[in-house]
C-alpha cells in the first residue's frame, strides 16, 4: 500500500508536486490495483476507484439522484 501526500504552500510548488505525483504514478502503475476512493486525487478517472463496478454505480446514480444533488470529487 502506498499513499501520496503533498502539502503545497504556493502555486509554483503545487504544480511541481502534481508533476512529481504523476511521474510516481506512472512508475508504480504496473503494480497498482487501483485507488482508494476516500483519498480522491485530482485528474483521476472514476474507473481507477470503481473498476468494473462503475457502470452499475452510474446506473444507480441516474435512477436515484437524476438531479445530481449529491456529488463527490469524482464526476461520473
Written as nine digits, the cell of 64 is 436515484
Whole-prediction pTM: 0.59
pLDDT tens, position by position, 18-59: 788 888 888 988 887 777 777 777 677 888 888 899 999 999
Q: What per-residue confidence (pLDDT) applies to 60?
A: 94
Binning pLDDT at 50, 70 and 90, where does residue 3 land? Answer: confident
Three-class secondary structure of residue 3 per DSSP: coil
21 in Cβ contact with 35 (< 8 Å):
no
Amino acid at each position: 500500500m502506498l499513499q501520496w501526500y503533498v502539502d503545497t504552500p504556493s502555486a509554483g510548488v503545487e504544480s511541481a508536486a502534481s508533476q512529481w505525483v504523476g511521474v510516481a504514478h506512472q512508475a508504480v502503475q504496473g503494480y497498482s490495483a487501483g485507488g482508494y476512493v476516500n483519498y480522491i486525487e485530482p485528474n483521476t478517472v472514476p474507473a481507477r476507484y470503481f473498476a468494473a463496478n462503475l457502470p452499475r454505480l452510474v446506473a444507480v446514480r441516474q435512477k436515484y439522484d437524476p438531479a445530481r444533488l449529491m456529488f463527490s470529487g469524482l464526476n461520473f
